[in-house]
Amino acid sequence: MDLLDPVKLFEESWKWVKGATQGLFLFVSGMTHSLSTPEVLELYKTVITTVVVFSVVVAILVLILITPFLRLYRLFIWSQSQSESYGFDTEMQLLLSAASVFIFIVVTFMRYVYFAPLERVFFAVLRAVDSKQADSLESRSVSVPENYMQQELLRQIRLIGKYLVLGAVLFVFMSLPIVGHLALPAKAIWVLQKKIGIQRAVVMSLVSLLPGCEIYCAMLLEGYLGVMLIARELAAPIFLRIGLEYREEKALVSAMEPIFCGFALPVVGIMISVPVFGPIVWLAAQASAALLARPMINEANRIFGEAFVKRNN
């Protein structure tokens, strides 16, 4: 099989463009509905102060933790770099990673502390756009395990740890001569080949070898991982109720990735670009994720067929 078959690359890329556009449309429509829903506005009045204070504390702690790494980088690596722009771009990558960690911590806090209110606003929006689907999903709440929040908290901690370890390993290897040029291509193929296809994983690996593209490809890869983590968290109320096993859930996430990316990318963009107050968009975004229910269930029906239909009837 030709990994760089232009026809297959175009077909896969076009599929992603259509899916991401659909996800972006769902995000805009969902936010419009959520910000006009009384339950969402009431939730903001109740928790906004706590969320902002927690965000400030986490932001300060992340800055305290990242500052020594930035100083060490400037002292030992940037000072020896032949390219001023390369040093600046690498530092921006570190700051982006710190911002991602900040988002993950705040999201984990909100999902853990405000689980019931977030579920309530999710179904309020879903009922406004599709009352039949809302009744169907809400009736399956008995499938939520008793220790769900403990499991979710541990899972999120593992995801954050994995993200930090992968980012740290990539950064260290990229700082080494010769070996550093192969670190990003190897990680790109390893991470992306099961997610967006081996063809585009190879293409990104080759692009990362071009002069000046390495840092930007690394930032794109880490951004992609962060967006997918956020998308998975936004869709959590749906995953809880459609009765999928772990492997089936992974298959559905893979099939929904273009839509998930289009939906979650503006959420991540707002959370990063608006200092401290950005994370409060999560409350409305969680409610707007109700619009993902229909596409996810339709895709699950397509992938798993009658077995899924019988399990959810």
How far is 227 from 86, CA to CA, in rounded Å? 25
203 lies in a domain?
A: yes
Looking from the CA of 250 toward its CB, the CA atoms found within 13 Å total 4
1 lies in a domain?
A: no
How far is 156 from 151, CA to CA, in rounded Å? 9
CA angle centred on 268, ends 262 and 269, rounded to 5°: 90
264 lies in a domain?
A: yes
226 lies in a domain?
A: yes
Q: What pLDDT is attached to residue 25?
A: 95
292 lies in a domain?
A: yes
From the number of C-beta atoms within 10 Å of its C-beta (0-12, 13-18, 19+), residue 158 rates as exposed
Could you give the number of structural domains in the chain? 1
| 110: Cα separation from own chain's centroid | 15
How far is 201 from 217, CA to CA, in rounded Å? 11
Looking from the CA of 62 toward its CB, the CA atoms found within 13 Å total 22
Per residue in 141-151, pLDDT (tens digit) is 544 555 666 66
| 167: Cα separation from own chain's centroid | 15
33 lies in a domain?
A: yes
Q: What pLDDT is attached to residue 263?
A: 94
How far is 191 from 280, CA to CA, in rounded Å? 30
How far is 82 from 94, CA to CA, in rounded Å? 19
Given the structure tokens 């390369």, which residue do they identify? 86
Per residue in 183-194, pLDDT (tens digit) is 656 666 666 666
Ranges under pLDDT 50 in the chain: 1, 79, 82, 84, 142-143
Q: What pLDDT is attached to residue 82?
A: 47
CB atoms within 10 A of CB 103: 24
How far is 290 from 126, CA to CA, in rounded Å? 5
CB atoms within 10 A of CB 185: 19
pTM (2 d.p.):
0.76
Q: Are 87 and 81 in contact (CB under 8 A)?
A: yes
Domain that holds residue 294: 6-311
